[in-house]
Chains A and B, each alone.
Chain A
Amino acid sequence: MSGVPFKNPGWAGNTGEFDLTEAQVRGDDFVGERPRAGGHPSGASTYPYMLAEKHPDAKLFEGDYQTRFEKILTRYPNKQGALLPTLGLAQEVRGHVSPETMDEVAGLLGLSPAYVRGVATFYTMYNKRPVGRHLVQVCTNVSCNLCGGDEVMEAFVRYTDTEPGETSEDGEFTVIEAECLAGCGFPTCVQINSRYYENVTPADVPGIIEHLKAERAGSAG
């Protein structure tokens, strides 16, 4: 895979004879642009929890997000059932789920704040504090570990110039160790925001980081 690390990032099997594009592998070509208001309610809660742009002070919820929230509510027999998707939606907007956010979600669903805090803190994907624009989660569990997961983790920490769990000074990266991401045959598996990167070796890491930075420059410019 070295040499062309970004020919097919995320390609599940960059080691085979495979000539699909990245969009075909990820399914982006099939999915297309998904409407922010949620599309059909059956899939309204499947949106990215992690976006690079975060708005910690945004209202819960307004505009398209309010529409999506209302669609989610229709899919459960009671409001409590919508708690996880609503926390996910709040994180998508704000980037993390602070105690205040938990309380607001409680208000929206008619639940007690203590209850929502108890539930939200049980789950690891709700960031309890702000994270960088890119949340890098490196699987170091057994299958990836056998193939060098620890070294990939070290490489991300080194090249982002940060400590595990801390956010780099420029606010770009937070790197954490993750448990199995269900990509064990394509080690090392790394999740960056909402995307999977597979077959990652330590040598690929600087390229991935440059790629992410370039993406930002592209989108900002």
Chain B
Amino acid sequence: MAYPYVSDREVRLLSRSFGDPKGRRLDTYVERGGYQALTEAFGMGPDAVIDEVKASGLRGRGGAGFPAGVKWSFMPKEPTRPHYLLCNADESEPGTFKDRELIRWDPHQLIEGVLIAAYAVRAKQAYIYCRGEFFETTQVLAKALEDAYAGGYVGKDILGSGVDIDITVHLGGGAYICGEETALMNSLEGRRGQPRVKPPFPAAVGAFGMPTTVNNVETLSAVPHIVVNGGAWYRQWGTEKSTGTKLFCVSGHVNKPGNYELPLGFPLMDLIEDVCGGMKNGKALKAVIPGGSSVPILTAAECKGVNLDYESVQAAGSMLGCASVIIMDEDTHIVKQVRRMVDFYAHESCGQCTPCREGTAWLAKVLRRIEDGMGAEEDLDTLLGMSRQMTGTTICVLSDSAAAPVVSSIQKFKDEYLALIRRGERAGVA
């Protein structure tokens, strides 16, 4: 089975069923050892499950990289009110395309992860919040969930354990900001998807005002493997602080774009040159965005020697984010691509913070002006000044995310901005 592309350097744990249509079926999943982790978790008790996930070092795969077990341990141990587990399947960060694959190729892996997490945080109701565009994907999930209910894996008295957990698939209405965890909770409650001021944190006051844990699809899909094999086993891959495997979503100018599951700490240049078959049409590499559109751009020179774990990417001046690696070749029009990303943030700003609402719109406008050859050199200072005002001043980090590519591209590709500005000035004089 050659799912669009595979590489022999992969470690396919979460992605073992990618490209295998049988993998969606309950019987196949069980044959392959599925739902054993659930039984095991019930035997361990919630606190031991949390400890095992802590021991694995598993960090959240939704972007921020917060340790999953630690997050779970914030939830009250003696529930006096309903608890909720929310699975974040809103996947909309440009460059990211792993959660859809995890759901549609291996829905039971996610369902089992959701059940174990819900059990650990003492939630009887879990929601899988999927972005509304995922119609086909959620059909697969809904069918798998229906089978899991029929098999006694979900619902009342699961497998005779006395544990009750319900799972509901919820569809969003098309808004990137709903991926932010507090916006997600508002949206689930039938409100506008606007982020909330923290504190209070979700573990205290979350969805419907109740203690809530939010985790990404990939985080939860890793959980059954950890529970069955142990935290130490998971640590055989990755680095000390970035443990385990990670799905790398590679897009842009490589010969074989796609999802590759690799140990964290994998060398970036090996990913491009070996795993992804090198640059398309033999072009030279110009730049890489290593973690989705919200993180700073790296130049080709900066990419040398970078390993893809949270710490190394940060040391190189960017962030691993959700490991959405966007590859740009020598012909890439950097200003245009930055403008396109900023247009996105301007469109997706929820509008409640002035620096974000106004700032994203202005950045987009000024960038467009430069792209169209109508810019002036002072515009670059304007962009940098606005970006500064947009960083660290708002309720959520969407605003910072919009500023990041602007600042890093001006710092690193100033010549391209200047060339557009000069060409425009010359054209104006002629």
Contact = CB atoms under 8 A, between A and B. Distances in A.
Interface of A: 10, 12-13, 15-18, 20, 24-27, 29-32, 34, 39-43, 45-50, 75-78, 80-85, 87-88, 109, 111, 118-120, 122-126, 140-143, 145-147, 179-187, 191, 194-196
Contacts of B142: 31, 34, 39-40, 42-43, 46
A191 B257 contact: no
20 contacts: A12-B4, A18-B2, A26-B136, A31-B140, A40-B145, A42-B154, A45-B168, A46-B141, A46-B142, A46-B171, A48-B135, A50-B135, A119-B191, A125-B133, A126-B174, A145-B336, A179-B348, A182-B97, A183-B97, A194-B136
B143 interface: yes
Given A179-B344, A182-B99, A195-B136, A119 B167 contact: no
Interface in B51-101: 82, 91-97, 99-101
B192 A118 contact: yes
9 residue pairs, one from A and one from B, having the closest CB atoms: A13-B4, A43-B142, A123-B173, A83-B190, A125-B174, A143-B251, A16-B4, A194-B135, A80-B190
A185 B193 contact: no
B249 interface: yes
Interface stretch (B324-332, B357-365, B382-390): B324-332
B341 interface: yes
Given A30-B24, A76-B190, A184-B96, 16 more contacts: A20-B21, A27-B140, A34-B142, A42-B168, A45-B171, A77-B82, A84-B190, A122-B193, A124-B175, A125-B132, A125-B172, A126-B174, A143-B94, A182-B133, A184-B97, A185-B4
A81 B139 contact: no
Contacts of B130: 46
Given A39-B146, A118-B192, A180 B92 contact: yes
B140 A185 contact: no
B340 A185 contact: no
A75 B125 CA distance: 9
Given A42-B146, A77-B82, A126 B173 contact: yes
Given A18-B19, A141-B344, A186-B257, A45 B169 contact: yes
B14 to A, nearest CB: 16
Given A30-B21, A81-B188, A45 B170 contact: yes
A80 B188 CA distance: 9
A185 B257 contact: yes
A123 B175 contact: yes
B149 A181 contact: no
B143 A31 contact: yes
Contacts of B169: 42-43, 45-46
A99 B139 CA distance: 29
Nearest to B24: A30
Nearest to A111: B190
Interface in B184-243: 187-193, 208
Contact of A49 (B21, B95, B132, B146): B132
Interface string B103-136: 0100000000000000000000000001111111
B25 interface: yes
Contacts of A119: 190-192
A31 B107 CA distance: 12
B138 to A, nearest CB: 4
A46 B135 contact: yes
A142 B367 CA distance: 15
Given A42-B154, A126-B173, A179-B347, A185 B251 contact: yes
Contacts of B133: 125, 181-182, 191
Contacts of B146: 39-40, 42-43
Interface in B236-285: 249-253, 256-259
A179 B337 CA distance: 13
A24 B24 CA distance: 10
Contacts of B401: none
Contacts of A76: 168, 190
Interface string B1-25: 0111100000000000001010011
B3 A184 contact: no
B173 A84 contact: yes
A118 B350 CA distance: 13
B138 A46 contact: yes
Contact of A142 (B101, B134, B170, B326): B326
A182 B135 contact: no
Contacts of A12: 4, 101
B176 interface: yes
Contacts of B95: 142-143, 180, 184
Contacts of B96: 180, 182, 184
Contacts of A27: 21, 24, 104, 136-137, 139-140, 143
Given A77-B208, A141-B340, A18 B3 contact: yes
A13 B249 CA distance: 13
Contacts of B257: 184-187
A9 to B, nearest CB: 12
A140 B136 contact: no
Contacts of A13: 3-5, 258
Contacts of A126: 173-174
B166 interface: yes
A184 B251 contact: yes
Contacts of A147: 252-253
A12 B105 CA distance: 12
